[in-house]
Amino acid sequence: MITITRADTRPIQNQGDIVLVRKVVRDWALELQFSIVDQTKIITAASELARNAFEYGKGGTMKMEALLNGIRKGLRLTFEDQGPGIENMELALTDGYTTGGGLGMGLTGARRLVNEFDIKSTPGQGTTVTITKWK
């Protein structure tokens, strides 16, 4: 059974908030005693998803949940926006696909950096991406 030991929500409304997202994710990952590599991976994934929520989703929020599954600790992050949503999910989840002049590595890269990755999007309503990293 998974229990949530701590939860919080942060805004993603400007570029400074993306920096703050990286900082708070680092703090929580440290507290959960993630290895330095796992810390780096979850912060990097969070940075990508926060930027997407800001750039494409016109801003949103990050929900943070510290998890406990037996003795296993984890960190679950949910990025939510009410932007235009993603029309073609298969394309968006292809390495190198971008509509914004990026590298098109944010979503696919974030997926590779975590243990669980879930994305839901409704065109015209918004996008929700949930990632979980287990210790």
Minimal distance in Å, beta carbon 112 to other proteins? 5
What span, in angstroms and rounded, lies between the C-alpha atoms of 40 and 46? 10
What span, in angstroms and rounded, lies between the C-alpha atoms of 20 and 11? 9
- String of contacts with ligand ATP for each residue 51-90, x by CB under 6 A: -xx--xx-----------------------x-xxxx----
What span, in angstroms and rounded, lies between the C-alpha atoms of 74 and 114? 11
CB nearer other proteins, residue 7 or residue 19: 19
Minimal distance in Å, beta carbon 1 to Mg ion? 34
Q: Of the ranges 19-27, 33-41, 48-56, 61-69, which one interacts with ligand ATP (CB under 6 A)? A: 48-56
What span, in angstroms and rounded, lies between the C-alpha atoms of 6 and 96? 35
3-state helix, strand, coil in the chain (%, to 5): 35, 35, 30
Q: Which residues contribute to the site for other proteins (CB under 8 A)?
A: 15-16, 18-19, 22-23, 26, 36-37, 39-41, 43-44, 47-48, 51, 95, 102-103, 105-106, 108-110, 112-113
